[in-house]
Every structure is written in C-alpha cells, then in structure tokens.
Amino acid sequence: MPTNRAVSYQGPGKVEVVDIDYPTFELKDGPGVHPDNVGRKVPHGVILKTVSTNICGSDQHMVRGRTTAPEGLVLGHEITGEVVETGPDVEFVKVGDIVSVPFNIACGRCRNCKEQQTGICLNVNPERPGSAYGYVDMGGWVGGQAEYVLVPYADFNCLVFPDRDQALEKILDLTMLSDIFPTGFHGAVTAGVGVGSTVYVAGAGPVGLAAAVGAQLLGAAVVIVGDLNEGRLAQARSFGCETVDVSAGPVEDQIAQILGVPEVDCGVDAVGFEARGHGKDSAQEAPATVLNSLMAVTRAGGGLGIPGLYVTGDPGAPTEDAKEGSLSLRLGLGWAKSLSFATGQCPVMKYNRALMQAILHDKVQIAKAVNAKAIPLDQAPQGYHEFDEGAATKYVLDPNGYLGTAA
C-alpha cells in the first residue's frame, strides 16, 4: 500500500508535511472528525492520487489561529486528482479518470442537494448543514493537501474531465474549479452582475480576482477591485480591472473618479471576517468594514454577493462580539436602499461544468488572472508563509509530480 504525506495544521502560524494513513472506504477517528462520523462506511467513494491541490485563503484563516481548528488537522479542500480505486457502489466514475472535486461534500440525495444547494448538504456533517474537506467544524473529512485522498459520493461529486491530455495541459486553470473560480463567479452571479454592469469587488486575493474574472465573463462593463496590497491590485489591473487603494481615502470618492458617480450596480465581498478598516484606519482590523462599505457604494436596488468567509467562532477577533461572529452592520442602510444579500458557501456544482467548458474552449484564463504558481508538497509551509505575507500568487501544490515541479 502506498505511503501518504499531507499538510497538517500544527498550531497558530505553523504547518508541517507529515505522514498520514492511506485512505480507506471508512472514516477513522482523527483531528476534527465528528464522533458520529467515526466508522462511517464510504462504499460510494473513490480514492484519488492528487494531481493538484491549492492553498486557499480559508485555509489561511485556520493557520493564523483564527478558528477553533484542532492541531493535527489535515488541510486542503481544493482538489483535483486521478482516480486510482473505486468503492463497490461507484458506477460511473472510472479508474484513470482525471476529476475536479468540489470543496463542498454533498450526498446528492437530500432535499438541499436536489435543489442544487450542495453547500448545505444535510447528510455529510452531523454538526450542521454543509461540509468540506480538511476544514474546521465540517465533519472531519480528511483534507486533500495530500498525496492521496478519499472522495465520498463520487458519482455525484466528481466532475470528470473529458480528455486526460487536454486536462493535464490546462491543469493550472482547471484546478481552480474546485473552489475559487466557482466561488468568485457565485459572488458575481448573486450580486446580480450582467451585461453592462458596474461592479466593485472588495478584496484582490485569489477569490476576489476570480470574482472579477467572473464579472467580466458575465458581461460587466467596468470591474473595480479594492485592496490594501499594491501587488494584488497590480494583478487585478493585469486583466483589465480598475482598482482602488482602500487605504488612500473613501472608496466612494475613488469610484466616482473612475465612473463619474460614487456608486456601482453590484458589490462583492471577497474579504470576509479578517477585514481591515479603510483610510486612516487601514492598519487596524475592523471586521464589518467591508460589508458596510459595500452597502454604502452599491446603488439602491443593487445586490451584494458575499463569498468572503464569516465564522461563528473566532478566538482572535478584536472584540467579544466578533469572537462569536456578531458584527456591527449598518443593516438599516441596506434595508433603506433595498439591497439584496447572498451569503454562504458557494454551491460549486452549480457552476463548475460550465466554467470547465469556458476553460477548455479558451474563453477564460483563470490561472493567469490569479497568478497561479505550482510548487512541490514539501514547499507548502513556505507557500503558506508567502501567501500570508501578501504575495499576489495562488499557490498550487503538486504532491505527485504531475505538474513537473518536484525536484
């Protein structure tokens, strides 16, 4: 049986590459595994040899110690892999298939899954609706920043690429289908972006850049991206976005300089709960700032898509209320302007096949937009560190040498 190495959270600010068990078709006890999931049989699953697996900003929240994630948790929810073994109940996914795995784990059988709400599946997490690989309070499914990983309900969850050679040729683009591209696109869709829209995307990290690409794909006339990080803003400008530096002054004033009016049709929050203040307060954490700013700059009757992560438990929050996810929102402003809000996990399967087609037929270059960089698994700690320092890079781990990055 092959060995299995994986990236593990070892406490605030620290990740290590460790040896873990090779996956089987049964959930075992371990860091973060819900007791009711221990011993759960997975005959409907497949075992993947990981082709690519990405470092996500959501992982970084845990690594910073900003969640209740237990030490030893195996990280990684952005997974692309080759099927090397199938469970006895798998009918359609075959050994040798190259597949993208949505970060949402979904059964395909509950009411929510049948209504395309796969981000809040009712059957995979005993704690609450919704689950993901390698993530805190998500049921304890082992993460995919590893050489091998188990994927349950494979016939439902796996998006099979139609041609192996084409998939490997475009793998840096296709690896974004597991999370950030659908998540950013979902933010744009739920904000109401359409042909001719003006859009403000708060946050120029990978999800924000993916939201900007998604807005362009949906026909937006102008996409404005705001951030504090000049390197990330430069990355947004590289594919045709306008930008604002939120530390340089009021966002609405900078939008007015671009559009002639201080408001946009649609707003996307790609920052989440670790947001900083704007203007002179940009050095300080102020978790409600982005949401309040978006309400201020979005026109009456507009929409907000909120793919940025907000949590129910944040031990490092600046206030007692924020530690339990209670933020000081100007909800009255949102109500008065009749704004629509959409929050929560992106239901990846709602979008990933169509976005795959856009990639395969050269309608979009998402890897270039987010500045994807492939690195070997052993360099994961360095990748986490550089990403945390603000690198304008989407780090793609190559655990098994498919991408040619292994020394």
Supply 371's token pair: 């500045």
Q: What are the pLDDT digits (tens) for 69-91? A: 999 999 999 999 999 999 999 99
Separation CA 140–CA 34 (nearest Å): 6
Confidence of residue 366 (pLDDT cuts 50, 70, 90): very high
Catalogue all structural domains in the chain, each as residue range(s) with its CATH number: 5-179+347-398 (3.90.180.10), 184-343 (3.40.50.720)
Looking at residue 5, its pLDDT comes to 98
Q: State the amino acid at position 228 in one-letter form.
A: L
Q: What are the pLDDT digits (tens) for 23-78? A: 999 999 999 999 999 999 999 999 999 999 999 998 998 999 888 899 999 999 99
Looking at residue 314, its pLDDT comes to 78
Supply 170's token pair: 């475009």
Using a pLDDT cut of 90, give the percent of the chain over it.
Answer: 86
Confidence of residue 144 (pLDDT cuts 50, 70, 90): very high
From the list 127, 64, 93, 266, the residue with the least C-alpha distance to 185 is 266
Confidence of residue 406 (pLDDT cuts 50, 70, 90): very low
- Pair 234, 392: CB distance under 8 Å: yes
Q: What are the pLDDT digits (tens) for 319-332? A: 888 888 788 889 99
Looking at residue 72, its pLDDT comes to 95
Rounded to an integer, what is the distance from CA 355 to the centroid of its chain? 15
Compute how many other C-beta atoms are within 10 angstroms of the C-beta atom of residue 299: 16
On average, the pLDDT of the chain sits at 94
Please determine, for residue 407, whether its predicted confidence score (pLDDT) is greater than 50.
Answer: no
**What letter would DSSP give residue 151?**
E
Mapped onto helix, strand or coil, the DSSP state of residue 225 is strand
Separation CA 290–CA 382 (nearest Å): 29
pTM of the complete model beyond 0.85: yes
